[in-house]
Structure 1
Amino acid sequence: MGGTARRWAVGIGSAFVVFWLCLWLVRAVSFGWLPKAEADRWAVAGAFGGAMAAAVGGLTAWWAGRGTQGGAGAGPDEGTVRQQARAGGEAEVEQVAGTLGRQAAQHRRPGRKKVSQKAKASDQAKIRQVGGDRIP
Structure 2
Amino acid sequence: MHALGVALGEALRAGDLVLLTGPLGAGKTTLTRGLGEGLGVRGPVQSPTFVIARTHPSLVGGAPLVHVDAYRLAGADELDDLDLDFENSVVVAEWGAGVVETPESWLEIVIERPVGDAALEDLDPAEAPVESRTVTISGFGPRWAEGVPA
| TM-based fold match above 0.5 | no
TM score, norm. by length of structure 2: 0.20
Larger Rg: 1
Pick the structure with more helix per residue: 1
Q: Which has the higher contact order (CA 8 A, sep 6+)?
A: 2
TM score, norm. by length of structure 1: 0.22
